[in-house]
């Protein structure tokens, strides 16, 4: 797997330079999602997941989108038996991890507490994974087809699937457009 290659690369780099470390470490997922991660990594197709960290990041973004209005739900979530994906290079996703943490903590000092930043990101991922599974393993299509439907317009998909007030807004908009309320 690619994570294993990155780990070997990390070990080779570390042996050359003992000062080489990743700034943020201990990204991962709960053990209860092991089979889901393995199954999703076996899927292939254009734009599909290449690594477990890609799955974790998408789950974290879904979790954040679902629960950012309820930061206590994220902050107080208790992670259970973790499978750490690091040391794997997450630098391309640091901006997401820091942004999520700042949004939830509302204090930029959070960036000084790297373990807390990673913890919050892992919690968002854990909260988002059930919804990601719901999306990808939905009836009526293959995992790849469901994923492609999702990535075509993820915001609209999430609003439609997870926003309970979207139906009410749709009805109100339709009524306004048809001048039914006039």
Q: What is the pLDDT of residue 69?
A: 87
DSSP 8-state class, residue 83: E
Q: What is the pLDDT of residue 4?
A: 57
Which residues sit opposite 82 in a β-bridge?
30
Q: What is the pLDDT of residue 19?
A: 44
C-alpha span between 7 and 89 (Å, rounded): 9
C-alpha span between 116 and 123 (Å, rounded): 10
Q: What is the pLDDT of residue 14?
A: 47
As a dihedral over the C-alpha atoms of residue 114, residue 116, residue 122, residue 126, rounded to 10 degrees, the angle is -170
> pLDDT tens digits for the chain (182 residues)?
555 565 556 555 544 444 444 578 899 999 999 999 988 888 766 667 888 998 999 999 999 988 888 889 999 999 999 999 877 888 888 989 999 999 888 788 888 888 899 999 999 999 999 998 888 887 777 777 777 777 777 666 666 555 556 556 766 777 777 665 55
With b for 16 or more beta-carbon neighbours within 10 A and e for fewer, the 17-37 pattern comes to eeeeebebebbbbbeebeebb
Q: What is the pLDDT of residue 106?
A: 78
- Single pTM value for the model: 0.71
């Amino acid at each position: 797997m690619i994570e294993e290659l990155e780990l070997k690369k990390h070990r080779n780099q570390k042996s050359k330079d003992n000062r080489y470390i990743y700034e943020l470490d201990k990204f991962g997922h709960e053990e209860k999602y092991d089979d889901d991660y393995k199954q999703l990594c076996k899927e292939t197709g254009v734009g599909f997941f290449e690594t477990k960290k890609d799955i974790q990041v998408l789950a974290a973004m879904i979790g954040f989108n679902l629960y950012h209005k309820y930061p206590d739900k994220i902050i107080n979530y208790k992670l259970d038996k973790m499978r750490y994906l690091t040391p794997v290079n997450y630098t391309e996703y640091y901006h997401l991890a820091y942004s999520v943490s700042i949004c939830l903590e509302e204090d930029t000092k959070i960036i000084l507490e790297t373990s807390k930043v990673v913890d919050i990101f892992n919690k968002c991922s854990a909260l988002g994974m059930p919804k990601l599974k719901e999306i990808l393993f939905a009836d009526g299509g293959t995992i790849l087809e469901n994923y492609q439907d999702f990535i075509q317009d993820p915001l609209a998909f999430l609003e439609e699937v997870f926003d309970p007030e979207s139906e009410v807004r749709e009805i109100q908009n339709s009524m306004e457009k048809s001048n039914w309320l006039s």
